[in-house]
């Protein structure tokens, strides 16, 4: 990978661990990772985007790695998570930027586009779609639909429960969720409501073609202090809904590219949202990848990179 710089940036009441690459005077481009991932999830995009002339900024999101991990659950609402990025932009003297985001990074990106439209020029989101503020918190709907059936988001709600399971063997937990078919198995497997996330799942492989043992060691270090901070993101569905009342009916007007793997379990879970998304995101381009799972920027790196460069050249050129 090309030369990376690292700093701890005091912003928004926390220390944000921030990696960067590319020319310092290049147009800023933020890459936001998801769960259970790390800044290194963008390892196949960073050099490509940096060589294209962008100033690429890759944070370890709040609760991950070397960034601060507050204990309070409410410290992980979307307002706080988006505030970290906006405060970092301010600290770095960036008036405007574009954002590329995957998984949980996508809701942060959607929220940035909605709440700070004057700061965000273009958007690329992967896996998690957006179709406006729901009429009820998502967890309320999930509880009604999954009274006797396991649902991983509901399982994550009670502090300490999922941590006890996942922290018992962090490397195995990460491998089970990330490698092979683990994402689909872990999040969509039919089992009773009292089950654990990893119950009934096969022993995971040690590596995949797109994640070497050396790469995986970065994921392990990211979660060295456990899963509590990252899991707290899931515990704010109701709070996020309450804080977003002013966004009801608002559209995402920035040029937006949405990428999804056909085998991504989120595609099944968010089928209705995907169908409605074009009405809320009118300047939307979409691309789906056959025979691709959830970890799209790694599983199909070359194709994703080509799409990113084409989209950015049209809507956020490096020399613009």
Q: What's residue 319's pLDDT?
A: 84
Biggest alpha carbon distance in the chain?
Answer: 55
The 10s digit of each residue's pLDDT in 272-307 is 999 999 999 999 999 999 999 999 999 999 999 999
Query: Token pair of 15, please?
Result: 């220390």
Q: What's residue 40's pLDDT?
A: 98
Structural domain boundaries in the chain: 5-315
- In this structure, the number of other CB atoms found within 10 A of the CB of residue 262 comes to 11
> Measured between alpha carbons, how far is 303 from 165 in angstroms, rounded to an integer?
36
CATH no., domain 5-315:
3.40.50.1820
Q: What's residue 2's pLDDT?
A: 62
The 10s digit of each residue's pLDDT in 220-229 is 999 999 999 9
Q: What's residue 1's pLDDT?
A: 57
For residue 267, list its beta bridge partners.
none
Cis peptide before 36 (omega within 30 of 0): yes
Q: What's residue 144's pLDDT?
A: 87
Q: What is the mean pLDDT of residues 76-94?
A: 98
The 10s digit of each residue's pLDDT in 209-223 is 999 999 999 999 999
Q: Which residues are catalytic?
A: 103, 294
Share of the chain above pLDDT 70, in %: 97
Q: What are phi and psi of 96, to 5 degrees?
A: -140, 155
The 10s digit of each residue's pLDDT in 159-203 is 999 999 999 999 999 999 998 554 566 677 889 988 999 998 888
Close Cβ partners of 119 (under 8 Å, ≥ 6 residues apart): 86, 89, 95, 96, 97, 112
| Count of all residues that appear for the chain in the document | 320
SS (H, E, C) 42-106: HCCCHHHHHHCCCEEEEEECCCCCCCCCCCCHHHHCHHHHHHHHHHHHHHCCCCCEEEEEECCHH
């Amino acid at each position: 990978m090309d030369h990376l710089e690292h700093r701890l940036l005091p912003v928004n009441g926390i220390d944000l661990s921030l990696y960067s690459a590319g020319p310092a005077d290049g147009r800023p481009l933020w890459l936001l990772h998801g769960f259970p991932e790390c800044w290194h999830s963008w390892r196949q995009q960073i050099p490509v985007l940096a060589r294209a002339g962008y100033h690429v900024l890759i944070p370890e999101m709040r609760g991950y790695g070397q960034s601060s991990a507050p204990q309070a659950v409410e410290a992980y609402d979307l307002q706080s998570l988006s505030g970290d990025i906006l405060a970092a932009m301010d600290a770095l003297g960036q008036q405007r930027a574009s954002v590329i985001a995957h998984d949980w990074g996508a809701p942060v990106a959607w929220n940035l586009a909605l709440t700070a439209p004057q700061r965000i020029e273009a958007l690329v989101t992967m896996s998690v779609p957006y179709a406006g503020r729901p009429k009820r918190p998502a967890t309320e709907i999930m509880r009604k639909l999954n009274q006797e059936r396991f649902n991983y988001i509901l399982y994550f709600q009670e502090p300490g429960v999922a941590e006890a399971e996942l922290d018992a063997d962090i490397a195995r937990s990460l491998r089970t969720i990330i490698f092979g078919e683990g994402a689909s198995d872990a999040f969509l497997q039919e089992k009773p409501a009292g089950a654990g996330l990893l119950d009934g799942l096969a022993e995971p492989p040690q590596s995949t073609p797109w994640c070497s043992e050396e790469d995986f060691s970065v994921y392990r270090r990211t979660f060295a202090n456990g899963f509590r901070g990252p899991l707290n993101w899931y515990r704010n569905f109701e709070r996020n809904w309450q804080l977003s009342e002013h966004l009801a009916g608002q559209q995402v007007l920035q040029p937006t590219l949405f990428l999804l793997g056909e085998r991504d379990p989120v595609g099944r879970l968010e089928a209705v949202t995907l169908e409605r998304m074009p009405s809320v995101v009118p300047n939307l381009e979409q691309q789906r990848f056959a025979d691709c799972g959830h970890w799209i920027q790694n599983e199909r790196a070359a194709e994703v990179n080509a799409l990113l460069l084409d989209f950015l050249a049209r809507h956020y050129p490096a020399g613009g």
